Every structure is written in C-alpha cells, then in structure tokens.
C-alpha cells in the first residue's frame, strides 16, 4: 500500500489503500487547504518528478533540499557531531542519491524535527538509516505516520551529542523546538531554528508566529518565553528553514531585539501606527 503524501504540507501518512480523506495538518488554522482542493502524491511519484540538492553551509553542516521546490519548500540540515550525524528537520523526498551520499558521510545517529510542518517523510528517513526520530511530546497529536522509530521527549531541553541541544521553545507549535549547536560558526555557536524562530528576508530581525501563511501572531508571553529560553545559549549564526534564510552574524542580539520589537508591537495601543 502506498504511503500518501499531502502536496501542500509534504506530510507522509501511514500506508493506506486509498488516499486519506483529509490532511489534519493542512485542515487547521496554522496551514491551509488550497482553493484547488486537497491533493496527494506518493513517495514513488515524487522520486520520478523531483530530486534532492545539497549545499555546504559551513564545515560539518550540509543543507539538503528538493528540486523543484515541493510543498513548504524547507531544507533539512545534516549536522556532524562528535557522536555522528544528526538530521535536523526533514523533507518529503529521500531519493537514492541522497541515501548513497548520507551513507558515504557515515549515515545518521538520529533525526530531530522542529515542528509538525517538517515531519515530512521522517519515517522513510528513519527506516533507511535505522535511527530514532526525536519529537517533542507536545506535538504527539500531529504524527500522521506512527512508527516505533519515533521517540517522544518531554521537558525544555534534550542533549543529543556534545554541544548539541534541543530546546523546546513552543510558540508556533506547543512542542516547537530549536537546535543549539555550540561548535557552529567557528565555535561562536549556531541556532538551527526551523520556523520556530523565523529568519526574515532582511536578516536584521527574526519573527515568531502561530501561522505564517495565515498571518496570525503569537501572544507577548509566548514570544517572551522564547527569548528567555534562548537566553543561556550563545550563538552567532541562525540557520532558518530555507537555504537562503540565514542570519550570518549577531544572531543572539538579533533574537533579543526582535523579541522586544515584537512585544512592543503586540502590546501597543495603536498610536504608533498613526505616526
Ligand atoms: Zn497537508
């Protein structure tokens, strides 16, 4: 039986004879079902029409995306640690070339994902490399292809390897997670942020939203909590969810000033918008 993939969000569902009736990830206020209606593909069909591409972001950090752009269009990141390679976030296509390249680099020790929009075909990846998937338990309800490889974690932090820590920030999703990489950016530290901390096109600010496509904000306390949770961690570079969404320097200061800017706007009295 095929494991159908939602064309809009890229989530792979448990194998079924017929396509699922709906995608709960898209049929929810953070995402959307397009006007053309719910549509599905399969991993096999996707592998015929698409292929994966690679970009070395820095030493020990490889971006893996899909061409042409598929679904939300995020790229995954392969992070080399003292214990082996961690895949951060995931994509819907795992083609033969990607399996061969990742195996030649030593395979994986695990997969960690920021939030359900990037669960993608995580079970395909976990099976191919025989590794666990670390998901925050706060998002358990959004797993569309349950599998023994999925390991839920609780609390605010989970160390994955030397200098590699998952931090549950919440916000966009209850279990929204970022990855702090202490050795990144030549030892100055890097934050792999998914879109829990959203890198903006101008790269001078980040933002935080409940829904990006539907422009729905978070509350001030939720954004302040993200700032407080990241406060103990130094980082210079922020790797967002797409190849080009990278804050190259001053990442920590940019997050903190963005929290202040966001909270001032959301708590404002309306007078600033008339000046
Ligand atoms: Zn969907």
Tell me the per-residue pLDDT of 10-64, one tens digit each, with 9 for 90 and over.
Answer: 999 999 999 999 999 999 999 999 999 999 999 999 999 999 999 999 999 999 9
Packed helices 122-129 and 96-104: angle between N→C axes, nearest 10 degrees: 50
Q: Which residue has the tokens 């082996």?
A: 84
Kindly indicate the confidence band of residue 116, based on its pLDDT and cuts at 50, 70 and 90: very high
For 189, which DSSP code?
A: -
Q: What is the pLDDT of residue 203?
A: 93
For domain 4-274, give the fold.
Answer: Metallo-beta-lactamase; Chain A (3.60.15)
Q: Tell how far the Cα of 72 is from the centroid of ligand 1, in angstroms.
A: 10
Q: Tell how far the Cα of 142 is from the centroid of ligand 1, in angstroms.
A: 11
Q: Tell how far the Cα of 33 is from the centroid of ligand 1, in angstroms.
A: 7
Q: Extract the runs of DSSP E, i.e. beta strands, from the chain.
A: 4-6, 40-42, 51-58, 61-67, 76-81, 84-88, 110-112, 133-136, 150-153, 157-161, 164-168, 177-181, 190-194, 198-199, 206-207, 209-211, 216-217, 237-240, 246-247
Give the separation between CA 250 and CA 267, rounded to whole angstroms: 26
The three-point CA angle 20-22-24 to 5° equals 115
Q: Tell how far the Cα of 206 is from the centroid of ligand 1, in angstroms.
A: 25
Contact between residue 23 and residue 38 where contact means Cβ atoms under 8 Å apart:
yes
Average pLDDT (220-245) is 98
Q: Tell how far the Cα of 55 is from the centroid of ligand 1, in angstroms.
A: 27
> Nearest CA to 117 among 198, 172, 60?
172
Burial (Cβ within 10 Å: 0-12, 13-18, ≥19) of residue 120: buried
The three-point CA angle 219-111-169 to 5° equals 15
Q: What tens digit of pLDDT does each residue of 57-114 get?
A: 999 999 999 999 999 999 999 999 999 999 999 999 999 999 999 999 999 999 999 9
Give the separation between CA 10 and CA 86, rounded to whole angstroms: 21
Q: Which residue has the tokens 């669960």?
A: 119
Q: What is the pLDDT of residue 160?
A: 96
Sequence-distant (6+) residues with CB within 8 A of 274 are: none
Q: What is the pLDDT of residue 14?
A: 98
Contact between residue 40 and residue 131 where contact means Cβ atoms under 8 Å apart:
no
Q: Tell how far the Cα of 71 is from the centroid of ligand 1, in angstroms.
A: 9
Q: Tell how far the Cα of 20 is from the centroid of ligand 1, in angstroms.
A: 11
């Amino acid at each position: 039986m095929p494991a159908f993939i939602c064309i809009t969000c890229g989530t792979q569902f448990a194998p079924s004879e017929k396509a699922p009736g709906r995608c709960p990830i898209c049929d929810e206020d953070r995402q959307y079902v397009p006007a053309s209606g719910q549509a599905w593909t399969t991993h096999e069909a996707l592998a015929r029409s698409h292929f994966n591409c690679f970009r070395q972001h820095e030493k020990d950090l490889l971006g893996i995306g899909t061409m042409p752009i598929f679904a939300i269009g995020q790229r995954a990141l392969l992070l080399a640690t003292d214990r082996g390679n961690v895949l951060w976030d995931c994509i819907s296509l795992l083609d033969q070339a990607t399996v061969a390249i990742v195996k030649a680099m030593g395979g994986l020790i695990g997969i960690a994902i920021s939030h359900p929009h990037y669960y993608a075909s995580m079970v395909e990846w976990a099976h191919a490399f025989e590794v666990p998937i670390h998901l925050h338990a706060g998002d358990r309800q959004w797993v569309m292809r349950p599998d023994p490889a999925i390991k839920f974690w609780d609390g605010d932090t989970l160390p994955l390897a030397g200098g590699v820590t998952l931090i549950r920030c919440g916000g966009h999703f209850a279990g929204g997670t970022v990855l702090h990489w202490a050795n990144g950016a030549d030892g100055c530290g890097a934050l792999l942020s998914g879109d829990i901390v959203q890198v903006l096109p101008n790269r001078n600010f980040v933002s935080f939203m409940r829904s990006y496509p539907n422009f729905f904000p978070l509350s001030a306390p939720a954004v302040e909590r993200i700032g407080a949770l990241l406060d103990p961690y130094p980082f210079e570079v922020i790797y967002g969810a797409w190849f080009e969404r990278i804050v190259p320097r001053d990442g920590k200061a940019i997050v903190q000033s963005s929290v202040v800017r966001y909270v001032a706007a959301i708590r404002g009295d309306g007078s600033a918008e008339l000046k």
